[in-house]
Amino acid sequence: MSERPLTVVQLLPALEGGGVERGTLEVARELVRRGHSSWVISGGGQLVSRLTGQGSQHLQWPIGAKSPLTLRWVSRLRNFLGEQRVDILHARSRLPAWVAWRAWKGLPETDRPRFVTTVHGLYSVSRYSSVMTRGERVIAVSDTARRYILDNYPQVPPARIVTIPRGVDPAVFPHGYRPPESWARAWFEQYPFLLERYVLTLPGRLTRLKGHTDFIELMARLVAAGLPVHGLIVGGEDPRRRRYAHGLHEQIRRRGLGAHITFTGHRMDVRDIYAVSNLVLSLSSKPESFGRSVVEALYMGVSVAGYDHGGVGEVLTRLFPAGRVPVGDLDALERTVRELHARPPEIPPSRDYDLQAMLDATLDLYRELAG
């Protein structure tokens, strides 16, 4: 039996890039593929053209702007929901969720769409964050996110929480992937010293939580031990944290590691960089809700070492237990890296976190709610 076409609206602050944005586009594309009507409301960004090119419609409303004026969009959204006869209203971030919830509550119960929220992060526990638990169904992106909700918002009935892990497309991150010859030639022309090195890659923007200081300390220990290693820090500088980025460069200079650690800046070819890396690291000091970069690397068959907490620990426990490291234990981190260097493991293909499973579960939820 064919599905009844649904009208689904997703809300988030902007479409610049990141895990929340990526998941929004993936669901929007799948909705269109299955013949549904897909809308996204955001403050805009570089991914809008990709979204609309895939058949979704976009409303550029600044619903993520941290200003009292943002609430003026409540009545406009309420009118839009009625005009479009929206079936599913799906909020993916806190301030847009407040706008959505107020608009939704202001409609007669018989005229309301079904309200869904996704807990993408382990937010600070507060009334402001509690809006992410007010959906008629609350999607948790991992078991870690589910535990966070149950531990911090005990008023949420467990039956309202649906765990749908984030997904990675195995066609985009295929096991055993090798970069095109043209890419490899350009890469090694730029970084010829990597040909003779065991390459450790730390992906993520230059923010304090990503563990760059621990990475620098790890590299100092490995270099002092005489291992033929080189570290890549792959991520753009946060304009609001230039002082932090400058401090990292200064740490590396002071410790004499300038020839052993390279900043690549923001890159769109992270898949290729994973493929030419020997080890990918995840060293966030605070637990994350999901370890997307960990899954991507492991799907490709690249070893990962990461701190054993949050979503990263959850993924490593399932896919690569040898890479788990107690949080902040630099001795254990060094020991784990040395073991992986001495005995590179074979990582079998996995389908535990497939994108299609995430999309199927999300659309099944929409269909169930819409009746």
Residue 237: pLDDT above 90? no
Classify burial at 312, counting beta carbons within 10 Å of its beta carbon; exposed 0-12, middle 13-18, buried 19 or more. Answer: buried
Q: Which domains does the chain have, with CATH numbers?
A: 7-167+354-370 (3.40.50.2000), 181-342 (3.40.50.2000)
pLDDT at residue 137, rounded to an integer: 98
Residue 231 confidence (pLDDT) above 50: yes
pLDDT at 371: 87
35: alpha, beta or left? (left if phi > 0; alpha if psi -120 to 50)? left
**How far, in Å, are 206, 234, 298, 329 from residue 219 at the CA level?**
17, 15, 22, 14
Q: Would you say residue 1 has pLDDT above 60?
A: no
What predicted TM-score, i.e. pTM, was given to this entire model? 0.91
pLDDT digits (tens, 9 = 90+) for 249-280: 999 999 999 999 999 998 989 999 999 999 99
Query: pLDDT of 176-194, one tens digit each?
Result: 999 999 999 999 999 999 9
Mean pLDDT of the chain: 95
pLDDT surpasses 90 at 18: no
Q: What was the pLDDT predicted at 79?
A: 97
Half-sphere exposure at residue 112, Cβ-oriented, CA atoms within 13 angstroms: 17
Summarised one tens digit per residue, pLDDT across range 94-139 is: 999 999 999 999 999 999 999 999 999 999 999 999 999 999 999 9
What is the mean predicted confidence (pLDDT) over 37-55? 96
